[in-house]
Amino acid sequence: MENAICSVAGVLEVAVIEFSSQWGETGKALVVVREGCTLEEDDITAACLVRLANYKRPRSIEFVDSLPKTGTGKIMRRAIKEKYWAGQDRLVGGG
């Protein structure tokens, strides 16, 4: 999923997390757009339609200014998940 989204011109970086829903969990894409570029949710969705099966596509897309990273530059998925899973009994995906 992340590779498909990164292939969109204007995407700087992306993180996909499991997100709570009535069906258990679904993919949520957090996208950072390159400076000077403009993207809309439809741009990301179109790329996913071409490259991914329907069940593998993210169910929601959110544009963010930045993603939290460790000192070595690795995306801190646990920190991202904590924001979206606040108030839940459990975290999905090892977080």
CA nearest to 30, candidates 73, 66, 79, 78? 66
User: pLDDT band at residue 91, thresholds of 50, 70 and 90?
Assistant: low
For the stretch 13-66, pLDDT in tens is: 999 988 655 555 678 899 999 999 999 999 999 999 999 988 888 989 999 999
- β-bridge pairing 11-21 and 60-63: unpaired
Query: CA torsion angle for 71, 6, 29, 66 (degrees, to 10)?
Result: 40
pLDDT computed for residue 87 by the predictor: 63
Domains in the chain (CATH in brackets) are: 2-84 (3.30.300.30)
CA nearest to 27, candidates 67, 60, 62, 75? 60
